[in-house]
């Protein structure tokens, strides 16, 4: 239906298959975990097959379908052992389906594998990773089964169980002639939009008539003229099993985008189809259908995940949880409080009232709830009320959150409670704590399970109603005829009607599993885990990096793999005594770009083996939301890819030098390929990929313009991939020079170029050595010495070093490695240099002075990896000729910027994970002591803002004559401040992380430059963080400690002077508002406006606040947010918000989210519609700014064209062949012909 619209949600996917560089397609786990207490088996996700798993579980729990398939023996279907024989007609799909159903019934494993089944479909790894629509799969799978069963006794299996008929009738109002047309169906597709539920939709389809009259008459064949008529449809034949597909995905023709309809859509557990049928004379029970499966889609139209609610008709599984003990008396302790115990408002208020300070960190509130009641928020309330933090935000009339939402308390009017009321609340907690995790329902009621890929959990029948609406809602419904009865011997008997050969196969497999599990128990049960501590990491350059050092950020832990995830969590809690708040354990992996988090370790009852934790696994310990104030995107989808981008760049060294420049960039794997052009600042261009077609060949492939919207992963790009970017106007196609010729592919390259860098006279300056990827480096070096006719003594004192595209010598390559192991590419250049390559215990390091590194300025040194940072610093200082003790080392990151300092001077280079080839920077200045911050302080004065100092000249006079503002004076009509904000550097300040914000202000006032301004009080200073030379985040609440703001070691702050004191609350937002001058493209001076967002971040709330502030009618104003970097205004209208409410969740109806992203310090333009009703918000300055941006873009393009003309030796004039875009990948199952 929608092709590969739906991308898999990998939150529950195993790390053994994702993110660890292993082959995706596997035959199963080394040792499958046994079934859980439900005694039901799930299905392992192959990467994007949750839709397949949900449908297969539904068919498996349709006993009539399962048993009809089991009734077909090998004499009709053939045998899987003969499937590779050329003349054998083996019906592989039904055989693999039989085997899968037998495994789900009898094999003692937590989850079955569908690898063999998808192989029988003819699917590849790519197909298994691509998500599809389950409704589309239902039709295609049934078609494949019908084709596979042709000529067998089961040829009518699908038709017999799922086929129904609709009769469409048109009745002439004149002659009463009836025109009929029959329509077959395997599933009914019903509308969701503007319909309240299933019965309402069926009524519209099969009861209401469409009348043809007036301008829409019907031509009757009997009357032979246009007449009035009535059109209707009825169900003529009902199948035993009725499948209903809900049309939740629609297209908005106004916005030209797809959307998912998440409105409430009810459906009954039992439905009477009699009103919708043509014949209604039968008994009512013949029209009754019972719901037995609900396939649920979670997410939107561009991403999501499927799972299924299934009714266990044959009672094959254990419906009651393990925790549900026979002692039911515990449920009767406080029946009068059960209703209140289900109210999270009452429970949370009770917990807060019991706190001495009536204030609790939000991260601790969930733990206190678990401790006092024995039930976590996620298990008890999350499905109905959402995440805990979001629940607190939605009840501002009761709970008061701090500015950064780190702590919560009760509002004053809720603090006073009568003793009896408090006693009742304590009784509620007692009732809640004594309540088992799953209340014992009547054993005679229906047994429902939630099957989510590998996991199977019992649910109650009432839980189905939670899937009526929202982003996680019902997508397909399956009903069975109420008159269908199951035989008594099938009840709780998984072996019922399973063929004998499958029974024997499953029994043998279970015996083998038991033996292997016994061997596993007796084997070594401990392994090593690498714990990465979240508070010691920072997120930058697209991945997580240690804030201080690898030694401090990562701990090694030896642990028993037979223990549970809960045991691991408890051990880490005891190990990290300093930890505060919630602790989330996530599987991570060290990527070339940095550390990346994949999925959380959920299910504390699972053993580490069941959780698929491997030896040497990287575990990230954090709060599950953010690191260093930055929200972290997790999962396989957004895995950071480090790509090497080749692009033309101007060079002053002349055209003889190589002009291609290689620069590394990090992109999320799910980002669009077009982001490459954005990263290079290139508006348009052609992107070429360097792909491997054979074992020893490569080729460049141009990405069509229409494929720019595809993701990096869809294009097959991975870490280390090479991308070439050239101007779109170029028709050149040559890539690399070779012996004076130009080559359009890499297939010709089977050599290395070795240059003489030994400073020894030789007739030859360079030679080409014929090699393969398995050639040993030592052999290449000896052969190069001979062909260069150099002294034989160099064999003992020389090494080979790769030369990058900039001409820089890289780290020497060990003699014992092959080219493939050393990752040396064919056709590249290497230098024969004096000196031996470092040994296995040594490191070859580059180092340079300062942070502004120029090519060729690096020095080289070989040191032992066991050397301490302090000793390494001394060696580098001595070699560079520097003296003094006020120096420290920083590691240069992949984007050639100074990274975090190496703070642990006594740690070894190996402990800090310094590797050969790394570049260390000798930076002047002593590091602050532990627990202290060294913060650059700036002065910030917004241009033309009322309520501040009267003039900038007054401020300039307060500083020394040599000082100047960071931005040039603005010209043109008055308007918002320019993109370059005026910041004046005041000096550096060293302060403890334990200090409060008011202490920081006091210490900043003592700076010489600030003291000249005669600031009267710290209350007259605002403090902002500085990012990209602009104020970013407003720091409020004077009593908070600096460490609570999570500023980081690289933070910069700026001070803003006020005329009067202010006290901003946690829900207050500070905005700069400017009133547009009627008749002019200009604005008045900006004014600070404080907006209380307690009632929500809605456009209506903001409009009302602005109208009150300017004393204007709310319907006579228009508001727009200014984006200074684009010189653009984006109007904020209530209409846009109302549209969003219909198509998105309520929590997305906020100005905090896209496209506005409103925050402190943003500029708003206000237009009075009484005097100015135009739609334009722009100013003359905006026009000038946009023209300048266009001019700079054209100049950059022109420079690239000139540079391309000079680099004619790199690209030929032949046209670049472009690969035509293939059709969108559709779902298909390949079936052999059996007719």
- CA pair distance 1074, 1087, nearest whole angstrom: 6
User: Running DSSP on this structure, what letter comes out for residue 797?
Assistant: S
pLDDT of residue 557: 87
Looking at 60, 132, 297, 305, which residue is catalytic?
305
- The answer to whether 736 touches 743, Cβ cutoff 8 Å, is yes
Give the pair of three-digit tokens for residue 393. 């935000």
Residues ≥6 apart with Cβ < 8 Å to 188? 164, 242, 243, 244, 245
pLDDT of residue 650: 58
pTM: 0.42
Residue 193: exposed, middle, or buried by beta-carbon count in 10 A (0-12, 13-18, 19+)? exposed
pLDDT of residue 1226: 63
- CA pair distance 219, 209, nearest whole angstrom: 17
| Rounded (10°) CA dihedral 888, 893, 898, 901 | -30
**What number of other Cβ atoms are within 10 A of residue 1088's Cβ?**
17
pLDDT of residue 524: 64
CA distances for 1206 relative to 686, 711, 732, 738, 1195, angstroms? 19, 33, 13, 18, 17
1218-1221 contacts: CB < 8 A, separation 24 or more?
1218/702, 1218/704, 1219/701, 1219/702, 1219/703, 1219/704, 1220/704, 1221/704, 1221/706, 1221/707
CA distances for 553 relative to 589, 752, 920, angstroms? 14, 41, 19
- The answer to whether 24 touches 17, Cβ cutoff 8 Å, is yes
pLDDT of residue 458: 93
- CA pair distance 717, 726, nearest whole angstrom: 18
- The answer to whether 584 touches 600, Cβ cutoff 8 Å, is yes
pLDDT of residue 1134: 60
pLDDT of residue 586: 92
- Along the chain (1235 residues), what's the average pLDDT of each consecutive run of 10 residues? 40 33 36 88 90 95 96 92 82 94 95 92 76 89 92 93 94 91 93 91 91 89 91 94 93 84 92 90 90 93 88 90 41 45 79 76 77 74 78 81 78 55 51 44 69 93 89 94 93 94 94 85 76 87 81 82 85 78 87 89 83 88 86 88 80 49 85 86 80 52 84 86 75 40 42 82 76 86 86 86 82 88 84 88 88 70 90 89 82 71 83 87 79 86 61 50 40 48 83 89 86 80 86 85 80 88 85 90 89 86 90 90 88 56 45 82 90 87 90 84 59 39 58 67
Active site residue 50: yes
Looking at 50, 172, 301, 872, which residue is catalytic?
50
Active site residue 414: no
pLDDT of residue 1220: 40
């Amino acid at each position: 239906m929608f092709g590969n619209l739906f991308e898999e949600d990998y939150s529950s996917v195993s790390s053994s298959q994702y993110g660890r560089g292993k082959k995706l397609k596997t035959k199963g786990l080394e040792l499958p975990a046994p079934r859980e207490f439900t005694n039901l088996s799930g299905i392992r996700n192959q990467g994007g097959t949750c839709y397949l798993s949900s449908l297969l579980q539904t068919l498996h729990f349709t006993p009539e379908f399962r048993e009809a398939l089991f009734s077909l023996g090998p004499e009709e279907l053939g045998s899987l052992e003969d499937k590779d024989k050329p003349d054998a007609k083996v019906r592989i799909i039904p055989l693999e389906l039989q085997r899968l159903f037998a495994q789900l019934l009898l094999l003692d494993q937590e989850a079955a594998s569908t690898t063999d089944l998808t192989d029988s479909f003819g699917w590849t790894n790519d197909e298994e990773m691509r998500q599809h629509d389950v409704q589309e799969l239902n039709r295609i799978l049934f078609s494949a089964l019908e084709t596979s069963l042709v000529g067998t006794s089961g040829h009518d299996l699908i038709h017999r169980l799922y086929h129904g008929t609709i009769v469409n009738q048109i009745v002439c109002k004149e002659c009463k002639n009836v025109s009929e047309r029959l329509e077959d169906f395997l599933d009914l597709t019903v509308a969701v939009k503007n319909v309240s539920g299933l019965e309402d939709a069926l009524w519209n389809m099969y009861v209401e008539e469409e009348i043809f009259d007036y301008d829409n008459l019907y031509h009757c064949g009997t009357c032979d003229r246009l007449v009035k008529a009535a059109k209707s449809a009825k169900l003529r034949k009902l199948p035993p099993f009725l499948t209903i597909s809900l049309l939740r995905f629609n297209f908005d023709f106004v916005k030209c985008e797809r959307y998912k309809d998440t409105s409430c859509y009810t459906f009954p557990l039992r439905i009477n189809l009699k009103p919708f049928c043509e014949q209604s004379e039968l008994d009512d029970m013949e029209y009754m259908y019972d719901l037995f499966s609900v396939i649920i889609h979670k997410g939107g139209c561009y991403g999501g995940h499927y799972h299924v609610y299934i009714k266990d008709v044959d009672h094959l599984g254990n419906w009651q949880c393990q925790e549900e003990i026979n002692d039911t008396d515990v449920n009767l302790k406080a029946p009068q409080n059960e209703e209140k115990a289900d109210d999270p408002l009452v429970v949370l208020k009770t917990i807060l009232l019991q706190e001495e300070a009536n204030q609790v960190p939000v991260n601790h509130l969930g733990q206190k709830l678990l401790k006092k009641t024995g039930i976590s928020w996620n298990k008890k309330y999350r499905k109905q009320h959402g995440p805990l933090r979001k629940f607190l935000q939605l009840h501002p009339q009761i709970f008061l959150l701090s500015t950064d939402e780190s702590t919560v308390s009760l509002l004053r009017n809720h603090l006073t409670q009568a003793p009896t009321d408090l006693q009742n609340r304590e009784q509620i907690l007692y009732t809640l704590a004594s309540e088992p995790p799953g209340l014992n329902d009547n054993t005679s009621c229906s047994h429902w399970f939630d099957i989510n890929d590998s996991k199977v959990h019992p649910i109650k029948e009432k839980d189905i109603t939670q899937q009526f609406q929202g982003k996680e809602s019902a997508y397909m419904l399956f009903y069975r005829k109420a008159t269908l009865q199951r035989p008594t011997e099938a009840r709780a008997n998984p072996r019922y009607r399973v063929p004998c050969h499958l029974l024997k196969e499953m029994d043998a497999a279970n015996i083998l599993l038991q033996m292997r599990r016994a061997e596993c128990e007796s084997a070594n049960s401990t392994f090593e885990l690498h714990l990465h501590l979240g508070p010691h990491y920072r997120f930058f350059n697209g991945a997580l990096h240690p804030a201080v050092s690898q030694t401090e950020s990562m701990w090694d832990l030896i642990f028993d793999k037979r223990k549970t995830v809960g045991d691991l969590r408890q051990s880490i809690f005891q190990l990290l005594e300093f930890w505060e708040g919630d602790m989330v354990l996530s599987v991570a992996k060290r990527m070339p770009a940095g550390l990346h988090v994949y999925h959380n370790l959920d299910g504390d009852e699972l053993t580490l083996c069941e959780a698929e934790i491997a030896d040497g696994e990287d575990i990230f310990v954090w709060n599950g939301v953010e690191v260093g104030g930055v929200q972290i995107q997790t999962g396989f989808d957004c895995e950071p890819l480090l790509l090497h981008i080749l692009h033309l760049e101007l060079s002053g060294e002349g055209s003889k030098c190589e002009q291609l420049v290689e620069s590394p960039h990090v992109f999320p794997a799910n980002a669009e390929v077009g982001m490459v052009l954005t990263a290079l600042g290139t508006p348009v261009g052609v992107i070429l990929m360097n792909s491997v077609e054979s074992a020893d060949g490569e080729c460049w492939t141009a990405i069509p313009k229409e494929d720019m919207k595809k993701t990096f992963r869809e294009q097959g790009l991975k870490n280390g991939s090479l991308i070439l970017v050239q101007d779109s106007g170029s028709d050149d196609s040559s890539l690399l020079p070779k012996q004076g010729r130009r080559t359009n592919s890499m297939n010709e390259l089977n050599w290395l170029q070795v240059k003489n860098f030994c400073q020894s006279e030789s007739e030859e300056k360079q030679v080409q050595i014929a090699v393969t990827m398995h050639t040993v480096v030592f052999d290449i070096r000896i052969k190069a010495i001979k062909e260069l006719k150099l002294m034989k003594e160099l064999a003992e004192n020389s090494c080979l070093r790769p030369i990058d595209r900039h001409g820089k010598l890289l780290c020497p390559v060990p003699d014992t490695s092959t080219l493939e192991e050393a990752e040396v590419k064919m056709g590249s250049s290497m230098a024969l240099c004096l000196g031996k390559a470092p040994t296995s215990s040594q490191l070859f390091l580059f180092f340079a002075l300062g942070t502004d590194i120029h090519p060729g300025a690096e020095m080289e040194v070989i040191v032992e990896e066991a050397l301490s940072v302090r000793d390494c610093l001394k060696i580098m200082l001595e070699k560079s000729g520097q003296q003094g003790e006020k120096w420290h080392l920083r590691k240069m990151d992949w984007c050639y910027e100074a990274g975090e300092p190496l703070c642990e001077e006594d740690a070894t280079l190996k402990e800090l994970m310094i590797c050969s080839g790394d570049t260390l920077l000798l930076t002047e200045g002593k590091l602050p002591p532990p627990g202290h911050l060294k913060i650059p302080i700036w002065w910030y004065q917004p241009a033309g803002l009322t309520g501040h100092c009267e003039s900038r000249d007054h401020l300039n006079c307060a500083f020394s004559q040599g000082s100047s503002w960071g931005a040039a004076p603005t010209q043109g009509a008055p308007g918002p401040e320019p993109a370059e904000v005026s910041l004046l550097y005041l000096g550096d300040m060293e302060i403890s992380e334990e200090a409060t914000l008011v202490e920081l202000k006091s210490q900043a006032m003592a700076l010489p430059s600030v003291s000249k301004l005669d600031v009267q009080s710290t209350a007259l200073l605002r403090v902002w963080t500085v990012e990209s030379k602009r104020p970013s985040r407003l720091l409020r609440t004077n009593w908070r400690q600096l460490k609570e703001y999570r500023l980081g070691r690289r933070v910069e702050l700026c001070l803003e002077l006020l005329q009067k004191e202010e006290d901003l609350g946690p829900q207050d937002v500070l905005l700069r508002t400017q009133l547009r001058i009627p008749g002019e493209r200009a604005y008045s001076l900006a004014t600070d406006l404080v907006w209380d967002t307690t009632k929500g971040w809605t456009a209506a709330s903001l409009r009302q606040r602005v109208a009150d502030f300017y004393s204007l009618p709310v319907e006579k104003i228009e508001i727009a947010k200014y984006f200074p970097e684009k010189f653009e205004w984006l109007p904020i209208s209530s209409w846009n918000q109302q549209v969003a409410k219909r198509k998105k969740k309520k929590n997305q109806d906020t100005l905090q989210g896209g496209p506005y992203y409103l925050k402190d310090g943003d500029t708003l333009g206000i237009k009075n519609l009484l005097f100015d009703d135009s739609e334009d918000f722009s100013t003359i300055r905006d026009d000038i700014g946009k023209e300048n941006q266009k001019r700079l873009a054209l100049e950059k393009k022109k420079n690239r064209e000139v540079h391309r003309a000079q680099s004619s030796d790199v690209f030929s004039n032949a046209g670049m062949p472009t690969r035509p875009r293939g059709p969108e990948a559709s779902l298909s199952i390949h079936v052999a012909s059996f007719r």
